[in-house]
Amino acid sequence: MTLKTIYEKQPEVFKFSDKNLKIAEDILKKYPQDRKKSAVMPLLYLAQKQNENWIPLSAMKYIAKYLSIPYIKVYEVATFYSMYNLSPVGKYLVQVCTTSPCLIRGADKLLKVCKEKISTNEKELSENKKCSWMEVECLGACVNAPMIQVNEDYYEDLDEKNTREIIESLLKDKPLKPGSYRGRKNTSPENIQNFNGKINYDQNRR
């Protein structure tokens, strides 16, 4: 299975829930009357969220009809962008950055945990179908390397131990809090005691 492979077991029907239908209407209001088709991307994302993180063909057909555009136009967008999954990825999709800054700070250990706890191969579901993982290129949080993205959240400044705890929490459907696991606020230096002219950095950190 790859995330861009069309899943063989497709649901026959898709339609937005009442709640998402209202959200879709609000999305449409952001576009000029004659540019409604530009809403295809947020609507695909909405469909993905409703359908446990992946988009079935029936959802693409539904969105095409909703926007009065040809199905192939929706299909083209869904198959082009990496943010759309066309096969099940589980409730929690773990993306592990393995670009150089994360790799030299230990991303290989994070991969090891994913292989051990989720599945031996990337893009495969865990036994309980809650999670899958994949390697990705830089996610733009290099200063907090190594890191993973879980759905829309970033978990940063990780090591093998806390990655294991995070993955276990996902598998139990009780996700731990995202953010820095070295107690940093956003990208600020560690262990700052105060800002009165004195900044205390963690001298042991490489």
Residues that bind ligand FES (CB under 6 A): 97, 99, 101-102, 138-142, 145, 147
Tokens of 121: 């191969």
Nearest distance from residue 199's CB to ligand FES, in Å? 24
For the CA atoms of 166, 186, 202, 138, what is the dihedral angle to 10 degrees? 70
Pick between residue 10 and residue 187 the one whose CB is nearest to ligand FES: 187
Tokens of 123: 């893009």
Q: CA–CA distance from 155 to each of 4, 114, 141 (Å)?
A: 25, 14, 10
At what angle are helices 57-67 and 71-80 packed, to 10 degrees?
Answer: 130
Nearest distance from residue 154's CB to ligand FES, in Å? 9
Pick between residue 69 and residue 135 the one whose CB is nearest to ligand FES: 135
Pick between residue 62 and residue 155 the one whose CB is nearest to ligand FES: 155
- Do 116 and 126 form a contact (C-beta atoms < 8 A)? no
Pick between residue 60 and residue 157 the one whose CB is nearest to ligand FES: 157
Nearest distance from residue 160's CB to ligand FES, in Å? 16
Nearest distance from residue 187's CB to ligand FES, in Å? 11
